[in-house]
Amino acid sequence: MLGKLLNGRNLRYLLLYRFGHVMTAVMWLGCWSSRSAPAPVADYEAHRQWQEARRQDLLRDDGWLTLAGLYWLEPGENTFGSSPDNDVVFPAGQMPPYGGIFRVDTAGVTIEVREGVPVLNQGQPVSALVLDSDLTGNPTILELGSLTFFLIERGGAKAIRLRDYQSRARDEFADLDYFPYDRSWRIPAVFKPHEHTSGIDVPTIMGTTSRLSSPGKLRFEIGSEQYSLDVIGEQDEEEYFIIFGDQTNGRESYGGGRFLYVAVPDIEGRTVVDFNRAHNPPCAFTPYATCPLPPPQNVLPVRVEAGEKVYQGHHEGKP
């Protein structure tokens, strides 16, 4: 369900850097020591590898930095092309002025390509084709030069998501900035199952709310105070996903909160919340993502001075 909310083309877009979190699970026993203990060299090396994996993931062809457009479709005919009088206006110089039509009806969405416009699907020219959306897990990918585009669905609304392998955002990637690594932010936590619900309401940047599966919450201490965070996921998964906010948001860190993955607790309900691996949602890098926001109960009333800071690179325009 989470993949449908963010980018159903492939859940791996969201489930970033699993190998780092496996290492977190292996080393959880060391986190029960004093918060002032110096970090072993192995911790720094594991964290450096995680940071590099995150950087490379963003720079992939299917990473968030190649997003170049998001166009919401209306029922009926939606003309597309680079001319500004189209309903869907693609980047100038990368698409003919008039490329064709996206037709939305009760049967779904069909693309009808104007004769002579070299749109491809799996290497074959397209004249007319019914489009599978990202909700299927295998959307119909259309290609034209350095552009790829495909159908997404969010809360019943349909849109065309555009990627450009020559995107300015990727070409001008400014690298990532982090708080200094601090082992004291690897905090032991105890899992508490939800008693009366299996889901939580999660707001999105689009102003909608989604109901996502949540088996429970993690309880932990910062300083001498007790806090908790609701997790998202299923009982049989290897990791839980957390969307959280804190008092650095809008200042040192991204205003829309951050993401975090945590190893599923052991049989005694213990795991580790490693805030050093808190990272920005896709919307910190592109206006063309559809991100969830922290639910109110996951906004911590403290400063979490760990993990990824706000991105200072290229980010312009709105979907």
Q: Give the domains, in start order, of the chain with CATH numbers.
A: 2-61+174-298 (no CATH), 67-164 (2.60.200.20)
Whole-model pTM: value is 0.80
Whole-angstrom CA distances from 135 to 98, 150, 211, 232 are 28, 11, 16, 19
Q: Which pLDDT value is given to residue 80? A: 97
Helix (H) or strand (E) holding 77: strand 76-81
pLDDT reported for residue 78: 98
Contact at 8 Å (CB) between 181 and 39?
yes
pLDDT of residue 156: 85
Position 15 scores a pLDDT of 35
pLDDT tens, position by position, for the chain (319 residues)?
Answer: 444 444 433 333 333 333 333 333 333 333 333 333 445 677 889 999 999 999 999 999 999 999 999 999 999 999 999 999 999 999 988 899 999 999 999 989 999 999 999 999 999 999 999 999 999 999 999 999 999 999 999 888 999 999 999 998 999 998 899 999 999 999 999 999 998 877 999 999 988 898 999 999 999 999 999 999 999 998 778 899 999 999 999 999 999 999 999 999 999 999 999 999 999 999 999 999 989 999 999 999 999 999 999 998 755 444 3
Question: Is the separation of the CB atoms in 172 and 314 below 8 Å?
Answer: yes
Which pLDDT score, from 0 to 100, does residue 174 have? 87
List CB contacts of 178: < 8 A, sequence separation 6 or more: 51, 276, 307, 308, 309
pLDDT at position 262:
97
What six digits make up the tokens of 242?
């957390």
CA 81, CA 231: separation in Å to the nearest integer? 42
What is the C-alpha to C-alpha distance for residues 204 and 318, in angstroms, rounded to an integer? 15
Q: Which residues of 43-71 are buried (b: 16+ CB within 10 A; e: fewer)?
A: beebbeebbeebeebbeeeebbbbbbbbb
User: Two tokens at 170?
Assistant: 């990727």
SS3 of residue 117 by DSSP: coil
CA distance 218 to 191: 5
Q: How far apart are CA 300 and CA 246, in angstroms?
A: 5
- pLDDT of res. 42: 76
Got the DSSP string for 218-280? EEEEETTEEEEEE-BS-TTSSEEEEEEB-TTBTTTB-TT-EEEEEEPP-TTSEEEEEGGG-B-
Name the nearest CA neighbour of 206 among 140, 277, 147, 152.
152
